């Protein structure tokens, strides 16, 4: 027994010495700007973590995430794979015209999860006093709209089948199909090449489609050639962060060139802000977060626009962030709820704020798989 305890002590001492020697030699950072994610932390060291294997597993993840020159080696690996004709890296297709398109196939669809999310959305749509206010606008993924750019034979899920399944359940009269709207052109792209989001031009076309469906009396011609302001010509998005290939060119990031009313006000999760833009993100990796500084549980906007009428609630993912600027002149109040962070009851929120319209705006793949969607019915 004493021998076993001594042996354990020796082993732990060696591990401590090794870990202590490694720790100062490994670059220590909590966040990867390139990959836009938190990095593994140095694991806790104790008897239980050593003998359970947790420490070994943790140290492997830590060293993988913090190895010196990590981004450099990832680029070397990516460039090597591209040089031999590989067309998929980290579930991202290296597509034609230098587009990066995220892989999502029929096998990635969990039918049970999709059914639960459809049921939750239908429950909201069928609520008394709400039903006639709701519009559902699923955002098609880049690969479904620009499928002609995919590598030959690259599998993708059946967008039309998934969309029709959703529309048939909640009602086609409540649903706006954006697939044909977002084709775009070479000079006016609707999606970023290196990011999964739509461009400011893409969001303008989406808002035009919404107005045509719900407010056909409004003049939407300006949204066909919307005023745009370039903020950066060096935007590398979320999909680039997975590929990290040295010969991929950056995107141009533009925002709606629309002045805010002097009476404009906004609160981000209850905190007053000066604008719907956070310009500090122009100097950061995640430049798309220039829209409001990212996602919040709740956003409340008073537009201050003389032409703005009524209150609209948007239940959303990050695609809504870049569409809201186009909406300012048409509404007096715009509220946004992100179910990934919102911990309250959406039903209670609706009863309290009494919106005139409700827009459910999510990328369709998120409607398929997001585990937070069922909260829409609570």
pLDDT of residue 191: 98
Domain assignment present for residue 331? The answer is yes
pLDDT of residue 210: 98
- The residue range of the domain holding 7 is 2-68
pLDDT level of residue 319 (50, 70, 90 thresholds)? very high
Separation of alpha carbons 269 and 293, rounded Å: 12
Q: Which of 233, 145, 235 is nearest to 190 (CA)?
A: 145
Q: Which of 345, 352, 335, 354 is nearest to 376 (CA)?
A: 345
Give backbone dihedrals phi and psi of 274, rounded to 5 degrees, phi first.
-85, -20
Q: Per the structure, how many domains does the chain have?
A: 2
Same domain, 165 and 287: yes
Domain assignment present for residue 73? The answer is no
Same domain, 92 and 61: no
Mean pLDDT over residues 266-277, rounded?
96
Structure tokens belonging to residue 253: 């990031």
pLDDT of residue 16: 44
pLDDT digits (tens, 9 = 90+) for 131-166: 999 999 999 999 999 999 999 999 999 999 999 999
Domain assignment present for residue 82? The answer is no
For residue 348, give every residue at least 6 positions away whose Cβ sits within 8 Å of its Cβ, in sequence order, or none.
none
pLDDT digits (tens, 9 = 90+) for 200-226: 999 999 999 999 999 999 999 999 999
- pLDDT at 77 exceeding the cut of 70: no
Give backbone dihedrals phi and psi of 296, rounded to 5 degrees, phi first.
-135, 155
- pLDDT at 306 exceeding the cut of 50: yes
Same domain, 271 and 218: yes
Same domain, 125 and 257: yes
For residue 351, give every residue at least 6 positions away whose Cβ sits within 8 Å of its Cβ, in sequence order, or none.
none
Same domain, 7 and 111: no
Separation of alpha carbons 133 and 314, rounded Å: 12
For residue 180, give every residue at least 6 positions away whose Cβ sits within 8 Å of its Cβ, in sequence order, or none.
none
Structure tokens belonging to residue 375: 């909260």
Same domain, 104 and 166: yes
Same domain, 59 and 106: no
* Cut 0.85: pTM above it: no
Separation of alpha carbons 266 and 293, rounded Å: 12
Same domain, 129 and 275: yes
330: left (phi over 0), alpha (psi -120 to 50) or beta: alpha
Domain assignment present for residue 111? The answer is yes
Domain assignment present for residue 74? The answer is no
- CA distances 25 to 62, 63, 235, Å, are 12, 10, 32
Structure tokens belonging to residue 309: 């009428």
- pLDDT at 357 exceeding the cut of 60: yes
Structure tokens belonging to residue 109: 């669809």
Separation of alpha carbons 378 and 374, rounded Å: 8
333 bridge partner residues: 302, 311
- pLDDT at 8 exceeding the cut of 50: no
């Amino acid at each position: 027994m004493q021998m076993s305890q001594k042996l354990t002590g020796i082993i732990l001492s060696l591990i401590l010495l090794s870990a202590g020697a490694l720790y100062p030699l490994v670059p220590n950072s909590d966040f990867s700007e390139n990959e836009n994610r938190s990095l593994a932390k140095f694991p806790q060291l104790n008897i239980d973590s050593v003998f359970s294997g947790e420490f070994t597993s943790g140290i492997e993840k830590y060293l993988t995430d913090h190895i010196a020159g990590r981004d450099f080696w990832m680029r070397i690996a990516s460039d090597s794979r591209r040089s031999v004709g590989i067309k998929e890296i980290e579930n991202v297709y290296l597509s034609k015209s230098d587009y990066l398109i995220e892989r999502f196939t029929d096998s990635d669809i969990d039918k049970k999860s999709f059914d639960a999310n459809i049921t939750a959305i239908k429950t909201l749509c069928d609520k008394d006093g709400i039903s006639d206010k709701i519009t559902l606008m699923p955002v098609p993924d880049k690969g479904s709209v620009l499928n002609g750019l995919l590598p030959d034979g690259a599998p993708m899920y059946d967008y039309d089948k998934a969309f029709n399944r959703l529309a048939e359940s909640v009602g086609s009269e409540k649903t706006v199909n954006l697939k044909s709207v977002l084709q775009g052109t070479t000079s006016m792209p609707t999606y970023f090449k290196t990011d999964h989001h739509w461009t400011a031009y893409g969001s303008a076309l989406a808002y035009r489609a919404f107005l045509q469906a719900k407010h056909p009396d409004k003049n939407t011609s300006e949204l066909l050639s919307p005023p745009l302001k370039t903020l950066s010509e060096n935007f590398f998005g979320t999909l680039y962060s997975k590929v990290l290939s040295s010969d991929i060119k950056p995107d141009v990031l533009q925002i709606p060139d629309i002045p805010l009313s002097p009476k404009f006000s906004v609160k981000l999760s209850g905190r007053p802000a000066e604008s719907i833009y956070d310009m500090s993100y122009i100097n950061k990796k995640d430049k798309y977060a220039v829209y409001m500084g990212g996602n919040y549980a709740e956003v409340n906007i008073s537009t201050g626009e003389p032409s703005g009428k009524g209150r609209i609630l948007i239940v959303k993912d990050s695609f809504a962030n870049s569409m809201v600027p186009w909406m300012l002149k048409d509404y007096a109040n715009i509220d946004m709820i992100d179910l990934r962070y919102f911990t309250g009851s959406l039903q209670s929120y609706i009863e309290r704020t009494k919106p005139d319209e409700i827009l459910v705006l999510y990328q369709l793949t998120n409607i398929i798989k997001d585990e937070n969607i069922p909260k829409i019915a609570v």
